[in-house]
Amino acid sequence: MKKGILVLVGLFVLLIGLGVFFAFRKPAAIPGKTVLTFAWWGSQTRHDRTIKVIEMYEAAHPEIDIQYDYAGNEVYWAKMIVQAAANNLPDIMQQDYATLGTSDSKGLLLDLSPYVKDSTLDFSETPEAFIQGGIINGRLLGVNLGNNSQTFVLDIDAFEKAGVPLPASDWTWKDYETTCMNIHKTLNIWCMDSNLGDEQIWSSIYLSLGEWIYNADQTGPGYTSDQPFIDFLNMQMRLQKAGAIPGPNEETEDNVEAGPIVSGKSAMTYIWSNQLIALWGAAGETRNFIMVPLPRAEGAVQSANYIKPSQFLSVTSGSKHPREAAEFINFFVNSPEANAILLGERGIPASSTVREAIRAMVDKIQQASFDFLDMIESTAAPINPPEPPGHSDLIDNVYWAQVLEPFYYEKDSAENLVPLLREKMPVILEENK
């Protein structure tokens, strides 16, 4: 995380040097009104929809003036870091699951639990599992803006052409390898692109075994054996050597809109469910895709999937108007009218009432995401706490640099490399406290 912060601050300094300054997009506050400030990251579509919701809220609450700012992800976080240092964060800020713990460790976020108790925040139509992701040490620090989960997207036509059956919902990595090899041998295409190095796959393997990558107090590893991840990497190497998946020198696009499945060069890909809109839109609506859960480790005791809050809205600890901020967040997540504008762009709404209200408004691609979340909701594994400060440091400097890259380039064995994660994790977590 320290490395990431330095990179973002450097980016912010560069942007200032280029004359890229930041300011709230609305005029100065009108005297006599309560001023709330709100910042988020995202695409232009998200910006446009969010601004319309702000304007809707202001029309219904003329005593409130919401000044807002937005940017792309990297610029947003660079700005928030600098504003935090100046004790000038907005009242309401968008948060990611991976950043919630770090923001909390810096004392930047307000506990919203009192506003749940007095019904300012109404979660009566929200399943408890969808609330838990925003809770750290019993304190509600973020309100869920939508849900997603990891998924494999399969090209049904490719499977049918290869004569390979679609997998069961509880398939294993052994099943995956068999499926992968059969597709490659029959169609002479990649069965999967090259993105299974994602650290979320590492954590999903242990999740299916009833464990997690971090222990309860987030001081070291939470799993008991390196073997499941060693087995996974060795399977990947067998597929790589067979030509069933790309090797490290075979470039594939990280952008989901330009991945091999879009052009028909692979039969499967791995994404988060809210990325389906971009993937399927790029491939064309006539393509025939299906979403299935992640494979599980051998000996799994539960699903490898959990339902993840895609983003949160948090109230910052320095806000002068926390109740008014909580009231706006409640409107943002619970108003069917507001969500008829937002249309699940940040993920499938957590409120069952809102979810059903907008289900009929979405197209067939987004409907597939709704159906997938419905399917796994009853079987998904419990969500674990957000990653601790130091997670990004571990992933950048050990997971990728010292384990995966040497392994995929065949410089050393999984048996020698994987234990480095357990050995170095406690040191990195301690350094980043």
46 falls within a domain: yes
267 falls within a domain: yes
Number of domains in the chain: 2
C-alpha to C-alpha distance for 146 and 38, rounded to whole angstroms: 18
Examine the domain organization and report whether 99 and 166 are in the same domain.
Answer: no
Q: Give backbone dihedrals phi and psi of 119, rounded to 5 degrees, phi first.
A: 70, 10
Beta bridge pairs of residue 311: none
Examine the pLDDT at 395 and tell me if it is beyond 90.
Answer: yes
Examine the domain organization and report whether 291 and 403 are in the same domain.
Answer: yes
C-alpha to C-alpha distance for 37 and 93, rounded to whole angstroms: 8
**Helix 227-242 crosses helix 173-187 at what angle (to 10 degrees)?**
0
Examine the domain organization and report whether 288 and 417 are in the same domain.
Answer: yes
Examine the domain organization and report whether 189 and 270 are in the same domain.
Answer: yes
92 falls within a domain: yes
CA gyration radius for the chain?
22
Question: Is there a contact between 149 and 291 (Cβ–Cβ < 8 Å)?
Answer: no
Examine the domain organization and report whether 322 and 300 are in the same domain.
Answer: no
Examine the domain organization and report whether 139 and 190 are in the same domain.
Answer: no
* Residue 17 pLDDT level (bands cut at 50, 70, 90): very low
Give the tokens for residue 225.
Answer: 């054996």
Beta bridge pairs of residue 269: 153
* Sequence-distant (≥ 6) Cβ neighbours of residue 94 within 8 angstroms: 39, 40, 41, 42, 76, 145, 311, 312, 313, 314
What is residue 378's predicted lDDT score, i.e. its pLDDT?
Answer: 85
Q: Which residue shows structure tokens 């320290």?
A: 2
Strand, helix or coil for residue 368: helix
Q: How many CB atoms lie within 10 A of CB 401?
A: 11
DSSP 77-128: HHHHHHHHHTT---SEEEE-HHHHHHHHHTT-B---HHHHHTTSS--TTS-H
Examine the domain organization and report whether 365 and 426 are in the same domain.
Answer: no
- pLDDT tens readout for residues 191-208: 998 779 999 999 999 999
Examine the domain organization and report whether 164 and 297 are in the same domain.
Answer: yes
* Sequence-distant (≥ 6) Cβ neighbours of residue 119 within 8 angstroms: none
Q: Is the pTM of this model over 0.75?
A: yes
* Residue 175 pLDDT level (bands cut at 50, 70, 90): very high
295 falls within a domain: yes
Domain boundary among 356, 377, 398: 377
Determine the average pLDDT of the residues in 363-371.
Answer: 87
Examine the domain organization and report whether 186 and 255 are in the same domain.
Answer: yes
**What CATH number should be reported for the domain holding residue 299?**
3.40.190.10
Question: Is there a contact between 52 and 341 (Cβ–Cβ < 8 Å)?
Answer: yes
C-alpha to C-alpha distance for 296 and 300, rounded to whole angstroms: 6
Distance from chain centroid for Cα 235: 26
- pLDDT tens readout for residues 263-277: 999 999 999 888 888
Question: Is there a contact between 33 and 65 (Cβ–Cβ < 8 Å)?
Answer: yes
C-alpha to C-alpha distance for 353 and 398, rounded to whole angstroms: 44
What is residue 1's predicted lDDT score, i.e. its pLDDT?
Answer: 35
Determine the average pLDDT of the residues in 175-189.
Answer: 98
* Residue 281 pLDDT level (bands cut at 50, 70, 90): confident
Structure-model confidence comparison of residues 144 and 3, the more confident one: 144
Examine the domain organization and report whether 104 and 23 are in the same domain.
Answer: yes
- Element spanning 59, H or E: helix 44-60
Structural domain range at position 31:
2-146+310-377
Task: Name the residue type at position 175.
Answer: D
C-alpha to C-alpha distance for 386 and 309, rounded to whole angstroms: 10
Examine the pLDDT at 110 and tell me if it is beyond 60.
Answer: yes
What is residue 278's predicted lDDT score, i.e. its pLDDT?
Answer: 80
384 falls within a domain: no
* Residue 13 pLDDT level (bands cut at 50, 70, 90): very low
Core vs surface per residue 75-90: b (16+ CB within 10 A) or e: bbbbbbbbbbeeeebb
C-alpha to C-alpha distance for 197 and 387, rounded to whole angstroms: 18
C-alpha to C-alpha distance for 423 and 402, rounded to whole angstroms: 12
Examine the domain organization and report whether 158 and 271 are in the same domain.
Answer: yes
Examine the domain organization and report whether 63 and 85 are in the same domain.
Answer: yes
